[in-house]
């Protein structure tokens, strides 16, 4: 796509913009007007009373970053688009106000409807996918697509349920805030891959059985046809990106590592200190699990550790907006760097 190549003349730039407009209309995204800020009316000004550490970017010290595999191409610089962390924070506060959102609960469903409305306000046709849980209750995935110039799909996911009594600001309204902000940007700036946004329901364990989790993502993958899985180039789970000193790309090491390698390569190119960390959970600890086990290149992006996750203290007041910005910008940059060749490499596994 044009964004990855130097623009040689103003004429070419104009053609590029015109082509982008045509594509934007042709893909039928049904934008309803200027994009709007997600958030609740009357909410505090974005960014207020949130701690912000020194910027979470560092010069990349030689030898201290996990080197991407030799086969991974180096990301090509694209015209940067800034990830607006204040919008992500507004989403986080809005979700926090729904309180604890256990999978299958009324509060979780209210949050699902709110997320669906936010996507609608951005011009997306968002649908709810029902997921019946083992306790008989029903959770929902909230799904929308930004059509790209390629039919190859990158799934961008974040769970919006929480582990009571936690209001889940970091786990995982933070990932939802990033997802909605990236959806806002891509509504106006098409990228090469088709991007499927999924706000997953019921990621957390709902009872005493440690395998009673990841209901939304497992159901989503189970509902995909063989052709859909084959067309899915990669998946990124954004889960807990608001707190902690360590920044990781994580997989269970049971599926293709192509997506994780691309994320790590983009981080290195951006001067962001990020390392690979194995997810050692028997069934994984985030929504990449089902995708990874289905053979799709999947990764989980996380800042860690957060000592108050899964407690009532997981409120927006303890989040570090610089961490959220770093993670959100990284995912946005990865999506914008992917070209058709990258997507074919990913689907070839």
What are the residues binding Zn ion (CB under 5 A)? 171-172, 239
Would you call 243 helix, strand, or coil by DSSP? Answer: coil
> Least distance from C-beta 288 to Zn ion, angstroms?
11
> Least distance from C-beta 91 to Zn ion, angstroms?
16
Would you call 13 helix, strand, or coil by DSSP? Answer: helix
Closer by beta carbon to Zn ion, 191 or else 206:
206
d(Cα 9, Cα 30) in Å, to the nearest integer? 31
Closer by beta carbon to Zn ion, 172 or else 321:
172
Helices (H), ranges, the chain? 10-26, 85-96, 106-121, 174-188, 215-222, 226-231, 258-270, 288-293, 321-337, 340-347
d(Cα 141, Cα 327) in Å, to the nearest integer? 22
**Measured on CA atoms in the order 38, 29, 182, 152, is the torsion positive or negative?**
positive
What one-character-per-residue DSSP string does 111-144 give?
HHHHHHHHHHHTT---EEEEEE-TTS-EEEEEEE
Closer by beta carbon to Zn ion, 159 or else 336:
159
> Least distance from C-beta 25 to Zn ion, angstroms?
37
> Least distance from C-beta 309 to Zn ion, angstroms?
8
> Least distance from C-beta 198 to Zn ion, angstroms?
14
Closer by beta carbon to Zn ion, 213 or else 257:
213
Closer by beta carbon to Zn ion, 96 or else 171:
171
Closer by beta carbon to Zn ion, 124 or else 160:
160
> Least distance from C-beta 324 to Zn ion, angstroms?
14
Looking only at the bridges linking them, the beta strands covering 127-132 and 138-146 are antiparallel
| CA distance readout (Å), 31 to 171, 185, 281 | 30, 12, 41
Q: Which two tokens mark 124? A: 């997306």
Closer by beta carbon to Zn ion, 288 or else 336:
288
Crossing angle (nearest 10°) for helices 258-270 and 321-337 = 110
> Least distance from C-beta 23 to Zn ion, angstroms?
35
């Amino acid at each position: 796509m044009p964004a990855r190549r130097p623009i040689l003349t103003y004429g070419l730039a104009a053609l590029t913009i015109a082509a982008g407009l045509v594509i934007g209309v042709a893909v039928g995204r049904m934008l309803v007007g200027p994009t709007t800020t997600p958030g609740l009316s009357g909410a505090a000004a974005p960014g207020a009373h949130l701690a912000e550490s020194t910027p979470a970017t560092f010069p990349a010290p030689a030898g201290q970053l996990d080197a991407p595999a030799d086969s991974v191409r180096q990301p090509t610089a694209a015209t940067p688009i800034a990830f607006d962390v204040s919008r992500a924070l507004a989403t986080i506060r809005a979700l926090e106000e729904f309180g604890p959102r256990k999978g299958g609960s009324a509060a979780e469903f209210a949050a699902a409807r709110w997320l669906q409305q936010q996507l609608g306000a951005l011009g997306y046709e968002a649908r709810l996918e029902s997921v019946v849980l083992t306790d008989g209750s029903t959770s929902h995935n909230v799904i929308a697509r930004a059509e790209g110039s390629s039919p190859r799909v990158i799934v961008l996911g974040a769970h919006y349920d929480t582990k009571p009594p936690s209001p889940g600001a970091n786990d995982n309204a933070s990932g939802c805030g990033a997802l909605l902000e990236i959806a806002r940007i891509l509504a106006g700036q098409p990228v090469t891959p088709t991007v499927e946004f999924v706000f997953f329901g019921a990621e957390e364990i709902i009872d005493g059985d440690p395998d009673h989790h990841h209901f939304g993502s497992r159901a989503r993958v189970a509902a995909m046809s063989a052709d859909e899985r084959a067309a899915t180039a990669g998946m990124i789970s954004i889960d807990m990106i608001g707190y902690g000193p360590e920044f990781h790309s994580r997989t269970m090491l049971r599926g293709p590592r192509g997506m994780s390698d691309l994320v790590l390569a983009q981080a290195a190119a951006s001067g962001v200190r990020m390392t690979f960390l194995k997810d050692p959970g028997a069934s994984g600890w985030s929504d990449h699990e089902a995708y990874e086990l289905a053979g799709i290149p999947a990764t989980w992006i996380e800042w860690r550790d957060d000592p108050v996750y899964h407690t009532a203290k997981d409120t927006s007041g303890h989040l570090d907006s610089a961490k959220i910005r770093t993670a959100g910008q990284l995912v946005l940059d990865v999506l914008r760097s992917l070209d058709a060749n990258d997507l074919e490499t990913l689907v070839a596994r």
